Structure 1
Amino acid sequence: MKKYIFTGLLVWLPLAITIWVLMNVVGALDGVFTWLLHAVMAVLPTELHQPLLGLRDVPGLSVLILVTALWVTGVAATNIAGQWLVNQSNRLISHIPIVKSIYTSVKQVSDTLFSSSGQAFRQAVLVEYPRQGSWTIAFVTGKPTGEVGALLPEDMLTLYVPTTPNPTSGFMLIVPRSDVRELHMSVDEALKYIISMGVVAPPPTQS
């Protein structure tokens, strides 16, 4: 009986966790949408409040609005006028104390990670860490630049070593390229391997 209960748990647990995560994400978006709705109502006539309040009861409306807003923003930012507006807003934010430090740092990281022309998190590798003879999976994020790059030999790589089972935290390493072993597995396969603590291993690649 214990065996069957455990097997049933393995079947339902991934689905239950997926639904729970999605519900939390939608709930957070609904909270932001409700706050924006009240902000809009504060500047509109009273007779328009009731129809707007009815929008709160539409399931998934916040997700639809978010996707639409992202799509419209992406379309607008690809033309000359949209790029000019984005540049002007970036210039305005960069002159606000405290805010500019946070915004600039986050923008640099996001541009590096999500840019289609960037190389961050494009390749998974093996590196000896935290001691010789002990290996872990890391992701190539680029090459050291600036003052750090000037003080190091040329053939160096910057790596991100994620922790398990939470890969959003980790360590940054700067190592010689010769100390890194390239992997043929994709970044998604490497993340699954890390999150599962080595249980879900990708199949070996035919050479």
Structure 2
Amino acid sequence: MKKYLITGLLVWIPLVITVWVLRAIVSTLDQSLLLLPQAWQPNNLIGFKLWGLGTLITLLVVIATGVVASNFFGQRLVRTWESVLNRIPVVKQIYSSVKQVSDTLLGPGGQAFRKALLVQYPREGSWTIGFQTGTPGGELEQHLPTEVVSVYVPTTPNPTSGFFLMMARKDVVELEMSVDEALKFIISMGSVAPDAARN
């Protein structure tokens, strides 16, 4: 009986969690319809709510923005928009900080979370997986005695919390595994081993 219970849980738990996460994402993105004027909202136009319509419209707007911002005139428009925002006192600090982080994490030239590392943490002889997020610069670089890398060490099983460390490059081991494989290994608390067939 216990065997069948565990087997059933192994089938249902991933499915239920996947559906729950997708439902939460779609429900959140559907709230974007509330930005439309009351008369233009779909539930007023057609008389009932279409679940997922806000998500679809949000994705289309984001893709269209990406298409426009990728060409010459779109880039000029974005630069003009940013220069306007940078003249507004409080908005300037918030916008520039968020943009810098998003460019680092999501931009094609960003190095954050592009490389998995094997590091000794929290003490020598204890090993864990971290992610290289960049290299310290400016004043930090002047005070650090050796070449260092910025490392984010996530906690298990919730990788959204963790520790930021600056470690000597000679003390970290660059791994060939992908970031996805490393995250699976961390979230599963080491029970899902990375692909060992890599040669």
Using structure 2 for the length normalisation, give the TM-score.
0.91
Q: Give the superposed CA RMSD.
A: 2.0
Distance in 2 separating the partners of 1:101 and 1:163 = 30
Aligned length in residues: 199
Contact 1:184–1:205 (CA under 8 A) maintained in structure 2: no
For structure 1, which segment, 147-156 or 125-134, has the greater mean C-alpha deviation from structure 2 after superposition? 147-156
The code of the aligned residue for 1:93 comes to L
Contact 2:42–2:49 (CA under 8 A) maintained in structure 1: no
Give the match for residue 18 of structure 1: 18
Give the match for residue 60 of structure 1: 52
Deviation at 1:200, TM superposition (A): 0.9
Deviation at 1:58, TM superposition (A): 2.1
Distance in 2 separating the partners of 1:145 and 1:53 = 54
Contact 2:136–2:148 (CA under 8 A) maintained in structure 1: yes
1:27-73 deviation digits (Å, cap 9, x = unpaired): 1112231x113xx23xx6xxx77885427622321111111111110
Deviation at 1:9, TM superposition (A): 0.9
Distance in 2 separating the partners of 1:81 and 1:104 = 22
1:48-101 deviation digits (Å, cap 9, x = unpaired): 778854276223211111111111100100112211121122122222233322
4+ residue stretches of structure 1 with deviation over 4 A? 48-52
Give the match for residue 96 of structure 2: 104
The code of the aligned residue for 1:189 comes to E
Deviation at 1:119, TM superposition (A): 1.8
Give the match for residue 36 of structure 1: 35
Deviation at 1:154, TM superposition (A): 5.1
Contact 2:117–2:173 (CA under 8 A) maintained in structure 1: yes
The percentage of counterpart residues that share the same residue type is: 55
Distance in 2 separating the partners of 1:195 and 1:151 = 35
Is residue 188 of structure 2 the alignment partner of residue 196 of structure 1?
Answer: yes
Give the match for residue 139 of structure 1: 131
Contact 2:32–2:58 (CA under 8 A) maintained in structure 1: no
Give the match for residue 168 of structure 2: 176
Deviation at 1:20, TM superposition (A): 0.6
Distance in 1 separating the partners of 2:17 and 2:3 = 21
Is residue 29 of structure 2 the alignment partner of residue 2 of structure 1?
Answer: no
